[in-house]
Amino acid sequence: MTIPLTTTGTAGSTGTGQAAPTGRRRRRNPVTPYLLLLPAVVALLAGLGYPVYWQVVTSLQKFGLAQQFGQPPEWVGLANYARIFSSEDLWAVVVRSIAFCLVNAFVTVAIGVAFALLMRAVHPVVKVVVQVALLLAWAMPMVAAVIVFRWLFDARTGVVNYLLTRLGFDGMQGYAWFSQPLTFFVVASLVIVWMSVPFVALSAFAGLTQVSDEVLEAARIDGASPVQILWHILLPLIRPVLSIVLLLQIIWDLRVFAQIRLLQDYGAPVGSTNLLGNFIYELGIGRQDFAGAAAVSIFVLALTVLLSWPYVRSLMKEEAAS
Amino acid sequence: MSTATLQSRAPLAPKRQLTAAGVRRRIGRVLLDLLGILAALVWLFPVYWMVLSAFTPNARLRTTTPQFFPVHATLSNFSGVLEGTSFLSSLRMSLMITGLTVVLVLVFAFLAALAISRFRFRGRTSFVLAILFIQMLPAEGLFIAQYRMMSQLGLLNSVIGISVLYTAAVIPFTVWMLRGFVAGVPAELEEAGMVDGLSRVGAFLRITLPLLAPGLVASGVYAFLQAWNEFTVALVILQSESSYTLPIWLRSFLAASINQGVNWGQVMAASTLLAVPVIVFFLFVQGRMTSGLVSGAVKG
């Protein structure tokens, strides 16, 4: 759930191939495992289970001002969904979120793979330099990263406008990046891509190190050009890694909220820069329309579960094999 | 053409080709090295710029011509942040929430990991499936409900309330991570200790626990990073200024001054203070997180 795992978090097991749990444990009291699970399950139910339940119930009720003051809620079936999903506002946000998510996910994966191929080709010292740069970018707390980019793109004293002006783009002097939706999303995408590329690059690189040198040598002897080797050998061999990484990026970029929220503080047109998370925030916290916010939240959760399915299945396969 | 010339030319031609290719390849390598260094510098630049600005007097940051190297380094931005703002009270809040989350997560996740890796029981697979899905759920799809729940319980702005939410958010991944570590310590080791005269508890404390230490450290660091960096839930739950964690404080510190000329030196000094512990801790656990993800995919 909750914490945007965008950069630091990835789901995955640690060591692999450990011994399977020993069968002889089966003799022991069958109550023990349930007792061991109890604290974690209680925490999950309190922190996540109840909120999900509340959201399902609230999305089916009328939750207006009267209910805020203690009136019993009124069941309205799917009326909240009908109300929210027939509004053009929501569809504009959905389309914008999906476009933003897909563009960022594909750009991130493309740059990440380019980094991985580069790390394979360069001198070992350069490789370490690249890895250190990637790790530092990955480690940056999200809020600090967004605020640093806000400073880099400051209209008057920002270094980006200075460099662009020096390069001959005179129009960029004092350019206000955050007041236009398009340039707003350019900066937001730059932050997200900058933060997300390290994970993709290092994962793809780990995949590339599995490709044996003999295979490549054989291809070279057979006269394959570097481009052919890339398209017909390297990329197909790391395709499993790439598809999982791309899927995770799509899931993570669909939930982008904080970066947008932070950048909106500087005079951005809120209505035309909101993504799904921001829309929910505005609806729920801003306008106190809890029923509508709950309905959109359920939509986001359902979409996430749907998208996560292939990823979870691949992890379960690994779990069954270990 | 006679066979003689053919024979004499045959060994020559490939050789000349090889050297030409060799030269081309070497030039290509140098260009790739340069490209690699350039890419690294581009990726490093935001971090460098943050630290550089943090050590630059604010008056110099206000000019329209930036300086790219530290020539007038000063600590005044740091002392300004530590003395002139509520940074320290937010730091205390961040430390309390992070500390409580780490402790709760370690205990709860460790017990759950023991259960799923040392026992086969009804519902085990469902539990594993559930935590894998739960860890994918976005905060953005839950925070309205969490806000309502905490406000009804009177736990907005409290350390306990948000720590419970963080604990629930971090448990799934840490259970998944610790599961591998626990499974890596064979139960036979513990039994051997008991044969040699240790009690069950003694065998666990003296044999299993030390072997699990790296896994517990990695999980603890992971929980620390998540709670320390978290923004979305904190924005919703911690609304009074006295309960801000550092990320929320940093945002309001910048937003408050945006219309009257930002003190970028102090903002960057504060960002640096926020980032340094994270960067240090992150380098501990990073290897584990990447290798964990790809190991399954590489094996296909």
Per-residue DSSP letters for A61-122? Answer: EE--HHHHTTPPPEE-TTHHHHHHHT-HHHHHHHHHHHHHHHHHHHHHHHHHHHHHHHHHHS
List, for residues B121-152, the tens digit of each pLDDT value: 989 999 999 999 998 899 888 999 999 999 99
The whole-angstrom distance between B167's CA and the closest CA on chain A is 7
Helix B264-299 to helix A142-152 angle (10° resolution) is 120
Q: For position A29, what pLDDT does the model report? A: 58
In chain B, what residues touch A289 (CB-CB under 8 Å)? none
Query: Per the CB < 8 Å rule, is B120 touching A25?
Result: yes
Q: Is B59 on the interface with A (CB under 8 A)?
A: no
A22 assigned to some structural domain: no
Element containing residue A228 per DSSP (H, E): helix A226-229
Residues 289-308 of A with CB under 8 A from B: 290, 293-294, 297-298, 300-301, 304-305, 308
A33 assigned to some structural domain: no
| Cα–Cα distance, A198 to A74 (Å, whole number) | 49
A77 assigned to some structural domain: yes
A161 assigned to some structural domain: yes
Helix A88-121 to helix B12-54 angle (10° resolution) is 130
Average pLDDT, integer, range B193-209: 84
Residues forming a β-bridge with A74 = A62
A17 assigned to some structural domain: no
Cβ proximity of A173 and A233 under 8 Å: no
Nearest to B142 among A147, A297, A319 (CB): A297
Q: Name the DSSP class of A45.
A: I
B38 to chain A: closest CA residue: A130
Phi and psi (nearest 5°) for A75?
-75, 130
Domains of chain B: 85-256 (1.10.3720.10)
| Cα–Cα distance, B36 to A238 (Å, whole number) | 21
Number of domains in chain A: 1
| Cα–Cα distance, A128 to A125 (Å, whole number) | 5
Query: Per the CB < 8 Å rule, is A316 touching B132?
Result: yes
In chain B, what residues touch A10 (CB-CB under 8 Å)? 289-290, 292-293
More confident residue, A119 or B62: A119
Cβ proximity of A160 and A151 under 8 Å: no
Q: Is A111 on the interface with B (CB under 8 A)?
A: no
Q: For position A316, what pLDDT does the model report? A: 87
Contacts of A172 (CB under 8 A, 6+ apart): A161, A164, A165
Nearest to A123 by CA among B35, B211, B209: B35
Nearest to B132 among A2, A138, A312 (CB): A312
How many residues comprise chain A? 322
3-class SS at A167? Answer: coil
Q: Is B173 on the interface with A (CB under 8 A)?
A: yes
More confident residue, B11 or B234: B234
Average pLDDT, integer, range A294-314: 92
A51 to chain B: closest CA residue: B145
* Mean pLDDT, chain B, integer: 86
Nearest to A2 among B131, B165, B278 (CB): B165
List, for residues A305-320, the tens digit of each pLDDT value: 999 998 898 888 877 7
Q: Is B256 on the interface with A (CB under 8 A)?
A: no
A259 assigned to some structural domain: yes
Nearest to B176 among A13, A39, A301 (CB): A13
A18: pLDDT strictly greater than 60: no
Q: For position B290, what pLDDT does the model report? A: 53
A37 assigned to some structural domain: no
Number of separate helices (H) and strands (E) present in chain B: 14, 0
Q: Is B183 on the interface with A (CB under 8 A)?
A: yes
A27 assigned to some structural domain: no
Look up the CATH number of the domain holding residue A262: 1.10.3720.10
Q: For position B163, what pLDDT does the model report? A: 97
Cβ proximity of B180 and B135 under 8 Å: no
* Mean pLDDT, chain A, integer: 86
Tokens read off for B282: 């992150």
A45 to chain B: closest CA residue: B168
Query: Per the CB < 8 Å rule, is A21 touching B117?
Result: yes
| Cα–Cα distance, B82 to B85 (Å, whole number) | 6
Query: How many Cβ atoms from other residues are within 10 Å of residue B80's Cβ?
Result: 17
Q: How far apart are the first and last CA of chain A?
A: 25
Kindly provide the b/e burial profile for residues B91-107, where b requires at least 16 CB atoms within 10 angstroms of the residue's own CB: bebbeebbebbbebbbe
Q: For position B195, what pLDDT does the model report? A: 87
Nearest to A240 among B107, B172, B300 (CB): B300
Q: ipTM of the predicted structure?
A: 0.85
Nearest to A40 among B47, B111, B291 (CB): B111
| Cα–Cα distance, A155 to A179 (Å, whole number) | 10
Q: Is A67 on the interface with B (CB under 8 A)?
A: no
By residue range, what is the domain housing residue A314?
46-321
* Identity at B227, one-letter amino acid code: A
| Cα–Cα distance, A162 to B64 (Å, whole number) | 7
Q: Is B53 on the interface with A (CB under 8 A)?
A: yes
> Sign of the C-alpha dihedral, residues B280, B281, B284, B287?
negative
Nearest to B246 by CA among B228, B272, B264, B269: B228
Q: Is B63 on the interface with A (CB under 8 A)?
A: yes
Q: Is A47 on the interface with B (CB under 8 A)?
A: yes
Least confident of A173-177, B154-158, B268-272: A173-177
Q: For position A322, what pLDDT does the model report? A: 62
Query: Per the CB < 8 Å rule, is A33 touching B65?
Result: no
Distances (CA, A) of A148 to B22, B99, B265: 44, 27, 11
Query: How many Cβ atoms from other residues are within 10 Å of residue A202's Cβ?
Result: 25
Q: Which pLDDT band holds residue A266 (cuts at 50, 70, 90)?
A: confident
